[in-house]
Structure 1
Amino acid sequence: MQLRTALNHMTVPGMGYAAFLDLASRLGCVGVEVRNDIPGPLFDGAPAIEGGQMARDRGLRLLGLGQVQPFNDWTPDREREVAALIATAREAGAETISLIPRNDGTGTGNGERHANLRIALKAIRPMLDDAGLVALVEPLGFIRSSLRSKQELVETIEALDAADRFRLVHDTFHHTLVGGGALFAEMTGIVHVSGVSDTQVAVTRMEDAHRGLVDAADRLGNVDQVAALIAQGYDGPVSMECFAPEVHALADPEAALRGAFDFMSSQLAERAA
C-alpha cells in the first residue's frame, strides 16, 4: 500500500508559502493544499500564476485551493466567492477548489438540508464546467453541520449527473464523528488525516482543536480508514490536516510530520504484508 502524502497549509499555518512548499518537498509529498482562511493573503501576496509555478518548480502538485464556506447557503455573494476562487484556481493551475458546508446549527432539517445542497451544486456545476475544474465537497461530522452524510452528498451528485465535477473529501476525523459508514472510494478526491489521542474527550465532543498528528495513540482509526479506501481502489493523495495548537507551535514540524507519515506508511505496509 503506497501512501501518496500531501500537506495542508493548516498544519503549519504560521509558515510562509515558500517555506511551506519547501517543507512539503523535503517530506516527499506529491502536492499541497493552499487555504484562504489562514493569516495572510494567498501565496503570500504573489500573483496566483506565480504561486502555482512555485509549487511546480518544487515538483509539487497544487492539489487544491480552499475554501468557500458555507457553499450550501446559495446567495449572490456566495456565487461571487465561488467565481473568484475558481478564477484564482485557474490562474494558479490548481486541480480543485474546496467547498465547505454551513456549520452553525442552521439548515440541518431534512427538507431544507437537501434543497440547499441541490441548489448550490446545481448552480456551481456550470461554473466548474466552464473552468474545467473539480470541486471537493467536504461533509463535516459535527452535529451542528448542515452536511454530515456522504451518502446524501453522493446521491445528490448522482441525481445531478455531476460526478465529473464534484468529488468527496474523506476526512478521517469527520468520518469518525458521523459514526463511519460507506467510504465511496470511487467518488473520493482527497483524503484528510489527523489524529486525536486525548482519551478524556468523548467522540461527540471532539473539535478541530483536538486534531493533531497521527501516531500509535490515535483514536480515529486513521490507518484502518486509509487501508480500507486503498483496498477499494483509492490511489489519490493523503493529506495531513492538523488544527491542534500544539502542532501549530511545534519547533520542528518537519521531524514530527515525517514521523507521522512514516508511522502510517509502516502500518499500511504491515497490513499489506
Structure 2
Amino acid sequence: MNKIRFALNHMSAPSLSIEAFFAMAEALGVSGVEIRNDLPGNADIGSTPASVVRDAAERHGLTILSINALQRFNEWNDERAKEAAELIAYARDCGAKALVLVPVNDGSGKDEGVRHRNLLAALAALRPMLDAAGIIGLVEPLGFSVCSLSSKTEAANAIEELGAQATFRLVHDTFHHHLAGEAPLFGHLTGLIHISGVVDPSVTVAEMRDPHRVLVDGKDRLDNIGQIRALIADGYDGPFSFEPFATEVHALTDPARPLKASMAFIAQAV
C-alpha cells in the first residue's frame, strides 16, 4: 500500500478559526494546510496578520502549503497586479510555500488565440514577483465548460514555453480533472492535489458544481482512487489536500471524524 501524505484546505472546515483549524490538522496527524482569502469572518486571512498565521502554524507543527487563491489570474491588469503583490507578500510573511492561481471562470477569455495570449502574459508578469518572494505559483485549471483554462495540457505547455518550471506547478484537482475529461496527468509538473468526491447519483457530469463536492468514500463517482494511483505512478509524491465545498460538509459540528474516516478509506484503497 502506498503511503499517502494528506493535507487540509481550510474549505474542509471553513467555520473554524485559523487557530482551531490548525489544531484540528495537528490532531489528525496532518502536517500540511492550505489557507484561503475567500472565507468571511474569523477564517479570513485579510483580517489576520501574516505573523499570527505563521506563529500558529509553527506552534502546531504545520507547513502552510498555499494561499488559495489569486482569482482571475489570467486576466492580467493593474488591479490583478496589485492583488497578486499583496497575496505574494502575505504568503512570504506567513511562511506559505505557494499561491494558487485560479483562471477566469465566467465564459470570457475562452477564444483560442486570446486564451493562450492571456495565459502567457499573466505567467510572465507573475514570474518575477513570485521568484523575488521565493513563492511557487500553482496553476489550477478548472473543468467547467465556461472556464478560460480547463486544460492542464495548455497550462503545462505555457509553463514549458516560458521555461518557468522552477516558478510554476500545476494543481491537479480530482473534481476538475474528471469534469475536463483530459487524460494527461503531468505528475512531474504537479505541485499539489485537491481531492473531493461526488456521490449524488442523480447529477450528470455536466451538471456537477462545487456544492456537490463532498469527502471521498466508497460511493465516489469521480474515481479519486484511480486518479491517486495514477498520479503516484506518474511520479507525484506530494500532498493530497481535502477541498470539499458541499454545505453538508461545512455544517459538520465535528469535521475531524469524517475527515479521519475519509483518510482511512483512501489510504486503504490506494
- The residue aligned with 2:219 is 217
- 2:206 counterpart (195, 204, 207): 204
Q: Secondary structure at the match of 1:192?
A: strand
Tell whether the 8 Å contact from 1:30 to 1:237 is kept in structure 2 after alignment.
Answer: no
- The residue aligned with 1:70 is 72
Tell whether the 8 Å contact from 2:103 to 2:140 is kept in structure 1 after alignment.
Answer: yes
Tell whether the 8 Å contact from 2:170 to 2:192 is kept in structure 1 after alignment.
Answer: yes
The unaligned stretches of length 5 or more in structure 2 are: none
Greater Cα shift, 48-57 or 108-117: 48-57
Partner AA of 2:125 in structure 1? A
- 1:184 counterpart (183, 186, 189): 186
Partner AA of 1:218 in structure 2? D
Q: Secondary structure at the match of 1:164?
A: coil
| Whole-Å separation in 1 of the counterparts to 2:223 and 2:122 | 32
Query: Deviation per CA, 1:3-25, whole angstroms, max 9, x where unpaired?
Result: 10000001111111111001111
| Whole-Å separation in 2 of the counterparts to 1:101 and 1:239 | 20
- The residue aligned with 2:243 is 241
Tell whether the 8 Å contact from 1:135 to 1:165 is kept in structure 2 after alignment.
Answer: yes
| Whole-Å separation in 2 of the counterparts to 1:207 and 1:134 | 27
Between the aligned residues of both structures, percent identity stands at: 50
- The residue aligned with 1:37 is 38
Tell whether the 8 Å contact from 1:192 to 1:238 is kept in structure 2 after alignment.
Answer: yes
Give how far 1:43 is off. 4.4
- 2:106 counterpart (104, 113, 136): 104
Q: Secondary structure at the match of 1:113?
A: helix
Q: Secondary structure at the match of 1:167?
A: strand
Partner AA of 1:18 in structure 2? E
Give how far 1:28 is off. 1.1
Query: Structure 2-normalised TM-score?
Result: 0.97
**How do 1:134-213 and structure 2 match up within 5 A?**
134-213=136-215
Q: Secondary structure at the match of 1:157?
A: helix
Partner AA of 1:63 in structure 2? L
Tell whether the 8 Å contact from 1:170 to 1:190 is kept in structure 2 after alignment.
Answer: yes
| Whole-Å separation in 2 of the counterparts to 1:17 and 1:49 | 12
Tell whether the 8 Å contact from 1:56 to 1:62 is kept in structure 2 after alignment.
Answer: no
Query: Deviation per CA, 1:160-210, whole angstroms, max 9, x where unpaired?
Result: 010000000000000000013100001000000001000100001100000
Partner AA of 1:87 in structure 2? A
| Whole-Å separation in 2 of the counterparts to 1:205 and 1:43 | 32
- The residue aligned with 1:18 is 19
The unaligned stretches of length 5 or more in structure 1 are: 269-273
- The residue aligned with 1:271 is none
Q: Secondary structure at the match of 2:227?
A: helix
Give how far 1:42 is off. 3.6
After the TM superposition, which parts of structure 1 deviate over 3 Å for at least 4 consecutive aligned residues? Answer: 41-46
Partner AA of 1:22 in structure 2? A
Q: Does 1:7 align with 2:3?
A: no
Give how far 1:50 is off. 2.3
| Whole-Å separation in 2 of the counterparts to 1:158 and 1:173 | 25
Partner AA of 2:246 in structure 1? A
Query: Structure 1-normalised TM-score?
Result: 0.96
Query: Deviation per CA, 1:36-60, whole angstroms, max 9, x where unpaired?
Result: 0011264483320221121122111
| Whole-Å separation in 2 of the counterparts to 1:173 and 1:220 | 7
Q: Secondary structure at the match of 1:32?
A: strand
Tell whether the 8 Å contact from 1:70 to 1:101 is kept in structure 2 after alignment.
Answer: yes
Tell whether the 8 Å contact from 1:17 to 1:44 is kept in structure 2 after alignment.
Answer: no
Partner AA of 1:29 in structure 2? V
Greater Cα shift, 68-77 or 32-41: 32-41
Partner AA of 1:27 in structure 2? L
Q: Secondary structure at the match of 1:38?
A: coil
Partner AA of 2:176 in structure 1? H
- The residue aligned with 2:93 is 91
Tell whether the 8 Å contact from 2:36 to 2:45 is kept in structure 1 after alignment.
Answer: no
Q: Does 1:267 align with 2:259?
A: no
Partner AA of 1:183 in structure 2? L
| Whole-Å separation in 2 of the counterparts to 1:174 and 1:186 | 19
